[in-house]
Structures are given as structure tokens and as C-alpha cells.
Structure 1
Amino acid sequence: MPQLKSEIARTIDESGLYNSKLLALICDGPNVNNTLFRLIYSEKSELTVSEGLLDIGTYKIHFVPNAFQKRLQEIGENCSDLIIKEYHSFSGWPARQEDYRKTQEKTGVPKSRFLKHILSRWLTIGPSALRLREQMLALSECFVVYIPKKPPSDEINCIQRDHLDNQTINHESIVSVCV
């Protein structure tokens, strides 16, 4: 077992993934997973990567969605909520879309539309989060500057003005979902 532990440690250290990527050890059964985690966590001094490993469960078919869900819980589910709110804030509202296009031109961000993220389909969050990050400058301009200047009768009632507040979420945490 010590040789297995050393080989795992060497491989993980050489990969360099433990500092920047989600990393999990996945085996073919719960007993193997439990043994591996006990082995790796037994001496933290030898394995500095142990803090970067996530126990994502043992059901092989769902290991990626389970890992994704654990990562989303770690950074906060506000990210997913924000992406969904942004899409629905403009989808099906031509006047809002036109106002937003003007904001895109003013801020110099690409004239892109928001991508639809579906909560039950975890693969859609990556591209949607990257698009949201790309549009963050225009969104800030739109929700922090443009909308507050409009008369109350013209305000967008279904949009919460504070959902772009940096205390709620920032663009780096949005992108960390994808990495």
C-alpha cells in the first residue's frame, strides 16, 4: 500500500491539477473508494494534494454530475440562479433586448445573446457562465446605471436590481464553475 500511495501522490503532483482544477479519485466500487481515501488522507504531510480532493460518491454513472453539484455548492448556487435570471430578463422582451444592444455598443462588449442554462442539465452552465462573464461590463451598466435612470413606470419589475451586486456574486466565481 505505501507504494500505491507514493505513486498516486507522484502522479497528482506531476499533473499540477490539484491547485487549479476539480480533482477526484473514482474507482469501481465503494470499498475501493473508501480504501483509497483512507490511504491518501492517512498522512497529510506526504500528500499535500489531499485537501484538493473531493469525495464525490461511488455511483460511477453519475460521478461527473455529482462532482459538478459539489463544486456548485462550494462556490454557491447564486451563480446558476444569476445565469438563469439574466437569460429570462431579456428573453422574449424585444424592447429590453434593444436597450441592452445599445448598452453593449456603449460599453464595447461583443453583441452576443445570453445562452439558456437549464438547472437540470449541468452541461449548459459552462458556456452560459462564460457568456455572462463576457457581458459583465454591459450588464453592470444596464442594471446599475441605465435601469435606475428610467422612470418608475418603465422599470423592469421582474428583475431584482441587486442581483449583480458584487457581494452576491462576481464574474470570477461564475467562471470558476467552468474550470
Structure 2
Amino acid sequence: MFPDSDIARNFQCGKDKIAYIIKWGIAEFVKKELISKVTGPFILMFDESLNRASKKKQLDLHVRYWDGGQVQSRYLGSQFLGHATANDLLKEVKECAGNLDLSKLLSFSMDGPNVNLKFFDLFQAEYADLYGGSRLISVGSCGLHTLHNAFKSGFSAWNLDKLLRAFHTIFNNVPARREDYIKTTKSTRFPLAFCGHRWLENLPVVERALEIWPYMLLYTNAVRTKELPHPGTASFDVIEDAQKDPLALPKLQFFRSVAQLFDPFLKKYQTEEPVMPYLGKDLAELIKSLMRRFVKREVLQDITTVQLTNLDLEKETLMAMHSVDIGLGAEEALKGTPFSSSLMLCCPGNAGMKTSSCSSQCKKGSISSCTASSASHTQSFGTFAKNYLYCLMGRRLWREGSLSIKRSRQRTCRRKHWSHKGSFAITLPYMGALQRCHLLRSYLNL
């Protein structure tokens, strides 16, 4: 490697020595060089996760600054913690970033646990004392986490996560079962793994599930007719139950349809590029895209961003049930669905709508459903679609920054049937100040 130097050619170094050189030699030099480059305004970014080797929580700190005409994001250091209270985070962050000129710190970038928000308040108070009342820019926590949680809260009522997990689990690391599947279906396409903490990343998972649905029917039929051995697993039972549900395909299609709306937004904002100035406009457009599915067109025709946040989603502004857009795929799947008066679907949402009969709902192109204990509480598939989209857009916005919510809600419980009555007045002085708008967790909170 070093033909021109006898010293370099004969140099030997074990793992302990090279680790020592990197930690106390190269790393210190690189860190000092990085700190010398951070001469202007900068942002600190941090996240914590479990370090399985040390059995401690590892807090990684990155710094984002302007250098050479562009934004740079560099690793600054790591701290290891046992307890991770807000005061613990404050101490460790100050220790790791102690050599930076904190008077030029603009803000923190972080995710959204309450401990992080408490940390920011503590740091904000100390920062004001040290620098004459100056305050950091509050951009909130990670809005992408909230998008994922809002999406999850609606679809978890259908247990689609269990179905998608079962699809993957039944063939995962089971060579014999995979061979049986391939021989029976003549397909080598297998389900993808479901991600439970990032639901909007599951668009490819749902698309694959829809693609192989006919093959899964062939496989389960072969098991029923004893052409193949019975797996005898909970995953197979979940798949069998789903195949008995005539609404299984419409549910998956509706999942895909809504996820496709979010996908461009997530791809744009999961980036290292400085895109914060465009967040307000794009978030407003995302909200409009969802609202167009269940809010009357004339209501959204020339609506401004401020008017959008103050829009009262009442009966007068909503589409008729048969006009709600649940996606072309879901509508096509519904056309081939066998209807019957005994069809039951537990849909979360406002369970106060009564319909005359199942047949009258079928004529409208929707599915009538009722709970097992009361036939008077019926609800169409379109109703759930509207309720889910409604909850996703405006029923519960997280209070942050200049966003304030006045809410009054009455909840009455009769056995297991819930009815919700409430008025929501959402005020927002100006959208540009809303750097991180938490979309809601869910209104369907049964």
C-alpha cells in the first residue's frame, strides 16, 4: 500500500490502538475543524434511541449551518444516558454543544415526545436569561410523525395492520410454506413487511397485498381442500377471516387511495434540503386535497388559507353520502361486492345515522352496516370514508404555535354506542406562522 515508505509499510495497528487513534486523535481534530466552520447562525438537531451494545440511550446531535453558499448538516457528537428526562437532555445537549457559540443558535429540530417539548421550554428560559431576553424560533416538533399517527388512528379501526402483518408473517422464513405457495399459485411475488410505526410508508405493502390477493385466495382454498398442509398459525386465521369479509378489498383500496395523497408530501419533506419556507403552502394544499373528497366544491372554490383553517365542517358544507370520493379502486371493488342484509361492519365514527333498509343503501352504491347489538345504528362504507377523512382533516388539531382551538364536545354513552356532538372553532392568525401544523390524532377515539 505504501511502496515509497519503509516506515508506513512496516506499521502495525490492532483494533484497540486504531480505536484510540480515531477517538482521541482524528475525531477531536474533525470536531474542532467543524466547530471552526460554524461561524454564523445554526440549528441543532437531535434524536435519542437505544444503543443495544451499551444498553443505554444514545443521543445523537447534528448541526446545520450555512457554509460555502449552501446548507451543511454534520454530525457533532453523541451522549449516552440512562434516564432521559428533560433536565437530563438539557445537560447532555449543553455539554455536547458547549464549544459552539450558542448566541447564534436559531432553533432546535426534534421529534415530538413531551419530554422534548419540555426540554425546549427549559432551554428557551436559560437562553433568554443568558442573551438578554432573546428567544429561539419555535418550529414545533416533527410534523411527519403526526401525519403518520393521524393516518394510523383512522385505519387501525379496521385492523388492516393485523391483516398486512399476517400476509408477511405466514411466509416469512418458512421455506416449505413458500414452496407450497409457489407451486399452487405459480407466482414468486410475496407480501412485503408492514411497518407499524410509519403507516404512510406502507403504500408499497398495500399495493403488493392487492396484487397478490387472488393468489392468497388460491393458497387458502388449497389448504381448505387439504391439498396443502394447514399452517396452524394465528396469521392464517387472520387471513381467512379477512377473506370472509366482503369489504376487505374496498378497505385496502381506500387505504391506498388516501396514502397516495400523502406520499408526494412525505417524499418532499423527508430531505436534508431547507424546505421549511414552503411547508405552510404545501400543507394547505394537502388539506384541500383531502377536503375535496368530502367537502362541497363550491365551498373550497376560492377559499384562502386562513379561511381554510376556520372552515366549519358542518352538514351544509359536506357532500351527500353517495358523492364522497373513496377512490376509484374502492368504488370498483364495491361493484363486485355481494350485499346481504346480514352484512355487518363495525365502523368507528358518528353512529347516529339511521337508514331505512340495506337495499336502499345498496341503490346508492354504498354498503349498509350495523353493529352486532343494535340494528338501528347503521352506517355505509361511504360514511366511514367521510368520517375518517373528516377526522383526519379538522376534528382534532394539536395546539401549537399560533394555532388555537376552542372546543366543546358532549359525549353520551349508551352501552357501546357513542354519539358525538360538538362545535369546533379553529382560529389561526396567519398560515406563515404555522411552521409545524400537527394534523390531528383522531376524532374516532373509541
* Structure 2, unpaired ranges of 5+: 1-139, 258-446
CA distances 1:37-82 after superposition (whole Å, capped 9, x unpaired): xxxxxxxxxxxxxxxxxxxxx9762431133123314xx3321110
Is the contact between residue 83 and residue 132 of structure 1 (CA under 8 Å) also seen in structure 2? yes
CA distances 1:12-39 after superposition (whole Å, capped 9, x unpaired): xxxxxxxxxxxxxxxxxxxxxxxxxxxx
Pairwise CA distance, 1:93? 0.8
Bigger radius of gyration among the two: 2
Is the contact between residue 171 and residue 177 of structure 2 (CA under 8 Å) also seen in structure 1? yes
Tell me, in whole angstroms, the C-alpha distance in 1 between the residues paired with 2:168 and 2:142: 33
Is the contact between residue 78 and residue 169 of structure 1 (CA under 8 Å) also seen in structure 2? no
Match of 2:184 in 1: 103
- The 1:169–1:100 alpha-carbon spacing in structure 2 relative to 1, beyond 3 Å, is farther
Is the contact between residue 164 and residue 205 of structure 2 (CA under 8 Å) also seen in structure 1? yes
Is the contact between residue 129 and residue 174 of structure 1 (CA under 8 Å) also seen in structure 2? yes
1:148 aligned to 2:229? no
1:157 aligned to 2:235? no
Match of 2:153 in 1: 70
Question: TM (normalized to structure 1)?
Answer: 0.55
The share of aligned pairs that are identical, in percent, is 20
Tell me, in whole angstroms, the C-alpha distance in 1 between the residues paired with 2:247 and 2:174: 25
Tell me, in whole angstroms, the C-alpha distance in 2 between the residues paired with 1:168 and 1:83: 17
Is the contact between residue 192 and residue 205 of structure 2 (CA under 8 Å) also seen in structure 1? yes
105, 130, 134: which one aligns with 2:211: 134
If each structure's strand is expressed as a fraction of its own residues, which one has the higher value?
Answer: 2
Tell me, in whole angstroms, the C-alpha distance in 2 between the residues paired with 1:124 and 1:141: 28
1:116 aligned to 2:197? no
Match of 1:83 in 2: 164
Pairwise CA distance, 1:102? 1.9
Is the contact between residue 148 and residue 198 of structure 2 (CA under 8 Å) also seen in structure 1? no
Is the contact between residue 80 and residue 125 of structure 1 (CA under 8 Å) also seen in structure 2? no
Tell me, in whole angstroms, the C-alpha distance in 2 between the residues paired with 1:174 and 1:157: 25
Pairwise CA distance, 1:99? 1.1
Instruction: Report the residue type matching 2:223 in the other structure.
Output: I
Structure 1 runs of 4+ with >6 Å offset: none
Pairwise CA distance, 1:91? 0.6
Instruction: Report the residue type matching 1:101 in the other structure.
Output: I
Is the contact between residue 114 and residue 132 of structure 1 (CA under 8 Å) also seen in structure 2? yes
Instruction: Report the residue type matching 1:121 in the other structure.
Output: R
Partner-residue secondary structure (3-state), 2:193: coil
* Structure 1, unpaired ranges of 5+: 1-57
Instruction: Report the residue type matching 1:66 in the other structure.
Output: N
Tell me, in whole angstroms, the C-alpha distance in 2 between the residues paired with 1:123 and 1:168: 24
- The 1:101–1:126 alpha-carbon spacing in structure 2 relative to 1, beyond 3 Å, is same
Is the contact between residue 190 and residue 212 of structure 2 (CA under 8 Å) also seen in structure 1? no
Pairwise CA distance, 1:177? 1.3
Instruction: Report the residue type matching 1:162 in the other structure.
Output: E
- The 1:121–1:65 alpha-carbon spacing in structure 2 relative to 1, beyond 3 Å, is closer
Which structure has more RCO (C-alpha within 8 Å, separation ≥ 6)?
A: 1
